Amino acid sequence: MSAALSIPTATARADRARRAWRIVLAATLMGALVVGSAILCRVDVVGFLPGLFQGLSVLRFFFPPDVGSLAEMVGPALVTLLLAAVATPFGVALSILFGLAGAANLSPAWLRAPARGVIAVERALPEIVVLLLLVAALGVGPFPGVVTLAIGSVGMLGRLFADAIEEIDARVIESVACVGASRWQVVRYAVLPEVMPSFLANAIFRFEINLRASVLLGAVGAGGIGLELQKAMALLEYERAMMAVLVTLALVFGAERISDFLRRRVLEKGGLR
Amino acid sequence: MLVTEFHHLVRLAGEMLPPNVALLWRKPGLFETIGTTLAMTFLGTVTGCLLAFVLALVAARNTTLHPALRSATRLLFGLERATPNFVVLLVLFISFGYGPFAAMIALAIGSIGMFGKLFADAIEEVEAGPCEAVELVGAGRWQVIRYAVMPQVLPVVVGRSFYAFDVNLRAAIALGVYGGGGVGFELQLAMKVLRYADAFALILLIILLITGMERVSDAVRRRLLPQGVLK
């Protein structure tokens, strides 16, 4: 805008030329990345539309959903829900430990560094990788699923918790420490009241994430509605698969609503206090 | 339970150690595999975020064509968010066969729900002043979007798209396990044929890949955003 208004001096022209050059460079780079990725991904431009129509025509096999199988879906759906419901508290407990250990204003450096390291590695580790390992060790079933989700919560919740503790006003901690509080009393009377509402809200959000993940993990061996869905797809029972999808949607949608409601309540009213 | 079964974990750890790091330079085509994972993440993010942005224009109160369209798009976002990624993938396998192409489309579709919502919210929070100013000098709907809305939301959209890349990279590895190809598929293969030392090397590779790409995308975003290059 400003370039258009000013008198086109030599510098302005050079500026505009540099700008144009930059745009060309960025566009070329982007184009090269897209083409390169398309080749690696084996993108099939010609087959895209036929594939799309084929997919859409297959979609009609999914309807009407097999309502009769709804009764058989309730059990697996409960397993999925339980998986998330059991794993989240364990994950929260682990996260509190790692969060306290990873906060610079509470824990000594020799404890903080490894705690932060574990959190960082866990964050980089997709849940499915952890589950593959645990299934290899413990066999298929809900138990490795629970452990996976509990461990999986540490990367996110532990980090958020540690960061929140580090952001606490130092005066709050000092004032409690000044009247002779021990380290645990500082945690109990200065740290927890400060960070609890946001931590609770994050934990509720994590439950929602865990529920989604537990559907996904189900297909790899944790059981539940994910397994049911994958079985139905593998057996080409698409109507039954559709029913499983609908049950999943209801489960996740419901959890999202409830977690939204609870989070808003916790954040407005200050949680447990 | 974990206590009584703990020796299984110890046994597995024994089989995984030491990681077969030599795999990284011995295994033919491993770099292509890594490239595949990165490529499907990149393409999925780019197409997904473009789609999400277009839909977000429809889903935002101040730019939508019709209120009914707005609610319909919002509902679509909600449904998409509730659908697990791999359900989409399973259906796409029917259309496009196993492999990275289907996984890439699944990632693109998977980006729509969450990032469409975020983009739409960003568009709705745009300041009204510039929009009215542009409108007053006679701009049509598209010109308002181009000259008043876009300059305001583009930094947010680009920033979120980088975040989408990070999210999608993790998802790409998971989708790979289900048959989408790339590093996830290699890992699943190594586990299935009980080559745990190879699997451990691949897990280390995945950790490196994810933390490394996070750094890269952070650096690129920092260079791109504060300069206002995008306006």
Q: Tell me the mean pLDDT per 10 residues along chain A, length 273.
A: 58 82 88 86 79 80 80 86 91 90 83 88 85 81 86 89 85 85 83 84 88 85 84 85 88 86 77 45
Q: How confident is the model over B174-228, as pLDDT tens digits?
A: 888 888 888 888 888 888 887 888 888 888 888 889 999 988 888 888 887 765 5
* Contact flag A41-B40 (C-beta cutoff 8 Å): yes
* Contact flag A229-B2 (C-beta cutoff 8 Å): no
Instruction: Tell me: cis bond preceding A197? Omega within 30 of 0 counts.
Output: no
CB contacts under 8 A, B 91-110 vs A, are: 91-92, 94-96, 99-101, 104
* Contact flag A248-B83 (C-beta cutoff 8 Å): yes
- Looking at residue B146, its pLDDT comes to 87
Q: Can you list the alpha helix ranges (DSSP code H) found in chain A?
A: 2-5, 10-40, 45-59, 70-102, 109-124, 127-138, 142-153, 159-166, 170-178, 183-186, 192-217, 225-234, 238-269
- Looking at residue B53, its pLDDT comes to 93
**Count, residues in chain B:** 231
Report the CATH fold assignment for B29-224. MetI-like fold (1.10.3720)
Closest residue on chain B to A208 (Cα): B82
- Between vectors from CA B211 to CA B208 and to CA B217, what angle results, nearest 5°? 125
Indicate which of A29, A129, A215, A253 best probes the interface with B, i.e. most B CBs within 10 Å of its own CB: A129
* Contact flag B96-A55 (C-beta cutoff 8 Å): yes
- Looking at residue A1, its pLDDT comes to 46
Burial A112-150 (b: 16+ CB within 10 A, else e): beebbebbbebbbbbbbbbbbbbbbbbeeebbbbbbbbb
Q: Is the dihedral of CA B41, B47, B50, B54 positive or negative?
A: negative
pTM: 0.81
Query: Which tokens in the block code for residue B228?
Result: 């206002």
- State whether residue A272 sits within 8 Å of chain B by CB: no
* Contact flag B101-A44 (C-beta cutoff 8 Å): yes
ipTM, 2 decimals? Answer: 0.78
* Contact flag A43-B101 (C-beta cutoff 8 Å): yes
Q: How confident is the model over A139-156, as pLDDT tens digits?
A: 778 888 888 899 888 888
Backbone angles phi, psi at B101, to 5 degrees: -65, -45
The whole-angstrom distance between A19's CA and the closest CA on chain B is 9
- Looking at residue A134, its pLDDT comes to 82
Mean pLDDT of chain A: 83
Q: Tell me the mean pLDDT per 10 residues along chain B, length 231.
A: 70 77 74 89 93 92 86 89 82 83 90 90 86 85 86 86 90 87 86 83 89 88 66 43
- Looking at residue B1, its pLDDT comes to 61
Candidates B38, B43, B210; nearest CB to A124: B210
Closest residue on chain A to B214 (Cα): A124
Closest residue on chain B to A232 (Cα): B90
The whole-angstrom distance between A180's CA and the closest CA on chain B is 39
Size of interface A-B (CB pairs under 8 A): 135
CB contacts under 8 A, B 154-183 vs A, are: 170, 173-174, 177-178
- Looking at residue A182, its pLDDT comes to 83
The whole-angstrom distance between B184's CA and the closest CA on chain A is 8
Q: Which residues of A touch B203 (CB under 8 A)?
A: 125, 129, 133
